[in-house]
């Protein structure tokens, strides 16, 4: 994996995490702790790495599209579970 790609992924993750950071400075309704930022940053970074891996290893457009869709679906499911506990696992604090 190229260092340039990892740096781009890190920059995008940082830019995405600026949204809740700024929101928590402006409003009291957005209440993220430092662990929330670490967990979400890790999830986004691993998702970026997985998508980068899929795009570099898979040859056909269809297989790339399916792989990226599955990766993003898994991210959304994990995010929803951690946010509101849709499955009631111990990870959500249920």
pLDDT tens digits for range 48-94: 999 999 999 999 999 999 999 999 999 999 999 888 888 877 776 65
Residue 94: predicted pLDDT: 55
Between CA 27 and CA 2 the distance in angstroms is 39
In angstroms, rounded to a whole number, what is the distance separating the alpha carbons of residues 94 and 21?
26
Range of the domain at 49: 3-92
Q: What is the pTM of this model?
A: 0.87
Number of structural domains (the chain) is 1
Answer for the pair 24, 31: CB distance below 8 angstroms, yes or no.
Answer: yes
Place of tokens 């190229």: 2
pLDDT in tens, 18-51: 999 999 999 988 888 999 999 999 999 999 999 9
């Amino acid at each position: 994996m190229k260092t340039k790609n990892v740096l781009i992924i890190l920059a995008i993750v940082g830019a995405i995490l600026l949204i809740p950071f700024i929101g928590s400075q402006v409003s009291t309704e957005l209440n993220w702790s430092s662990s929330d930022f670490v967990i979400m940053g890790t999830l986004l970074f691993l998702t970026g790495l997985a998508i980068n891996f899929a795009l570099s290893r898979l040859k056909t457009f269809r297989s790339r599209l399916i792989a990226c869709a599955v990766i993003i679906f898994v991210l959304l499911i994990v995010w929803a579970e951690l946010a509101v506990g849709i499955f009631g696992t111990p990870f959500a604090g249920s």
